[in-house]
Amino acid sequence: MSNTFNRRNFLAASGAAMGAIMLNPLSTLSGKEPEKVPSNKKLRLAMVGTGHRGAGMFGEKVTKGYSDYVTFVGLCDPNPGRLEYAKKRMGIECPVYTDFDKMMTETKPDTLIVTTVDGFHHQYIVRGMELGANIISEKPMTIDEQKCQAIIDAEQRTGKKVTVSFNYRYSPHRRVIWEQLRKGAIGKITSVDFHWYLDTRHGADYFRRWHRRREFSGSLWLHKASHHFDLLNWWIDSDPVEVFAYANLDFYGKNGAFRAENCRTCAHTQECNFYMDISKSKYYMDLYVANEKYDGYLRDGCVFKEDIDIFDKMGAGIKYANGVQVSYSLTGYSPYEGYRIAFNGAEGRIDAWIQESNPTYLGEYDEIMISHNFGKREFIRVPQSEGHGGGDTLLLNSLFIPGTKDPYRQSAGARDGALSILVGTAARISCDTGNPIKIGALTSIKPQAQKM
């Protein structure tokens, strides 16, 4: 649905809209130009996991945009081909390692960036802190409650700090929602309806790759939904206490009529809607196909493989310590990608919707509708921005530009990382056991009504 199309329909249907306010949130966040840091004072960075996210967002973007403040001292990945690819793409000369401890002891980084496969994050987060570094971890911080506890314990034991790179918090549209909630636009929040749709392109991609196995991704309850659970925790400004969930695999995996190991070896390319000709992407050929010889990892895996043990249809009820109730769902095979969210409050309701991936439908702005009980309705328009809704760049600013302020509490630590993954973990356990799961029983973290 285009914003224009949607809004026109909505106006016709309601006849009640007030004037819309146009915001330019990026301009309010950039602040004044920060001073350069002398070479010997630059933050010394190392990275483990030099794949798509590592080499791109935390590699090339950081070396191109933030080299006045940071310098890479080491890169590590078990795949030597991807290591060399990343080094070249980042245009740097630092040493590369397949041995993590060796990298840490030889290069002594201030900060370790963890951009490996989700199921291995905890190993590097814990060991990285033991070897003297602060950590920036991609989401999900980890994929289950034991690994989560190990990270919490290691942070306390070593005195080092984990930051979780929740880029979704930094998108201006979501930040404006946060501001409206904090200023009491709908009074006390009572419940939230949050529904996320992954499409048959990007959504299907999770079923091709390592994400399709719980041991690597924790399922989409962790890999994808931990983003959404973090947003909820941040927006609601309270900790989750209990989760009840259902889920199933209805579309991908064993549900397919035919299958192969991967698209290049498939006999059904003519009839399969999910056929992906990886040779058409030079990027994928260089990053993945050229390096298959080292680890056998297939980027164009079949979405109907029978080893897929994650879900593609998920629904959960979440109770918060401040009494808010959430209805959440995630669908993995929608014709378009995006989400709808509504916050119900004692004095009104906020509705917001985003369509993310089908460019045909993208407009110039995203809208937030605030309806006041017995009163007027307002629309706020937030200009659209590139890179996860504008979140990626603002996140990098906050991570790497010294002195960047955090007025919207977007910077997330280990406790935030933990509480997002604990909702996903509880949902997964609830699906497996049929029971509601208490968050406070999973780790040493005790949920608080008001965020700490």
Ligand X SMILES: NC(=O)c1ccc[n+]([C@@H]2O[C@H](COP(=O)([O-])OP(=O)(O)OC[C@H]3O[C@@H](n4cnc5c(N)ncnc54)[C@H](O)[C@@H]3O)[C@@H](O)[C@H]2O)c1
- The residues that touch ligand X, with contacts defined as CB under 6 A, are 48-54, 77-79, 82, 115-118, 120, 138-139, 167, 223, 388
For 66, other C-beta atoms within 10 Å of its C-beta total 18
Decide whether 167 or 371 has the Cβ nearer to ligand X: 167
Decide whether 75 or 321 has the Cβ nearer to ligand X: 75
**Least spacing, CB of residue 113 vs ligand X, in Å:** 10
**Least spacing, CB of residue 425 vs ligand X, in Å:** 15
**Least spacing, CB of residue 311 vs ligand X, in Å:** 17
**Least spacing, CB of residue 206 vs ligand X, in Å:** 10
Decide whether 66 or 379 has the Cβ nearer to ligand X: 66
Give the residue among 171, 128, 219 at the shortest CA–CA distance from 26: 171
**Least spacing, CB of residue 245 vs ligand X, in Å:** 20
Using an 8 Å Cβ cutoff, are 219 and 428 in contact? yes
Decide whether 78 or 447 has the Cβ nearer to ligand X: 78
**Least spacing, CB of residue 124 vs ligand X, in Å:** 7
Residue type at position 199: D
**Least spacing, CB of residue 384 vs ligand X, in Å:** 17
Residue showing the smallest CB distance to ligand X in the complex: 51
Decide whether 298 or 442 has the Cβ nearer to ligand X: 298
Distances in Å between the Cα of 134 and the Cα atoms of 125, 158, 301 are 9, 10, 35
Decide whether 322 or 385 has the Cβ nearer to ligand X: 385
Decide whether 121 or 381 has the Cβ nearer to ligand X: 121
Decide whether 101 or 250 has the Cβ nearer to ligand X: 101
Decide whether 151 or 241 has the Cβ nearer to ligand X: 151
**Least spacing, CB of residue 195 vs ligand X, in Å:** 19
CA dist., res. 115 & res. 141, Å (int): 10
**Least spacing, CB of residue 415 vs ligand X, in Å:** 19
Residue type at position 121: H
3-state DSSP of the chain: CCHHHHHHHHHHHHCCEEEEEECCHHHHHCCCCCCCCCHHHCEEEEEECCCHHHHHHHHHHHHHHCCCCEEEEEEECCCHHHHHHHHHHHCCCCCEECCHHHHHHHHCCCEEEECCCHHHHHHHHHHHHHCCCEEEECCCCCCCHHHHHHHHHHHHHHCCCEEECCHHHHCHHHHHHHHHHHCCCCCCEEEEEEEEEEECCHHHHCCCCHHHCHHHHCCHHHHCHHHHHHHHHHHHCCCEEEEEEEEECCCCHHHCCCCCCEHHHCCCCCCCCCCCCHHHCHHHHHHCHHHHHHHCCCCCECCCCCCCCCCCEEEEEEEECCCCEEEEEEEEEECCCEEEEEEEECCEEEEEEEECCCHHHCCCEEEEEEEECCCCEEEEEEECCCCCCCHHHHHHHHHHCCCCCCCCCCCEEHHHHHHHHHHHHHHHHHHHHCCCEEHHHCCCCCCCCCCC
Distances in Å between the Cα of 13 and the Cα atoms of 3, 9, 329 are 15, 6, 27
Decide whether 50 or 371 has the Cβ nearer to ligand X: 50
**Least spacing, CB of residue 79 vs ligand X, in Å:** 4
**Least spacing, CB of residue 216 vs ligand X, in Å:** 8
Decide whether 70 or 396 has the Cβ nearer to ligand X: 396
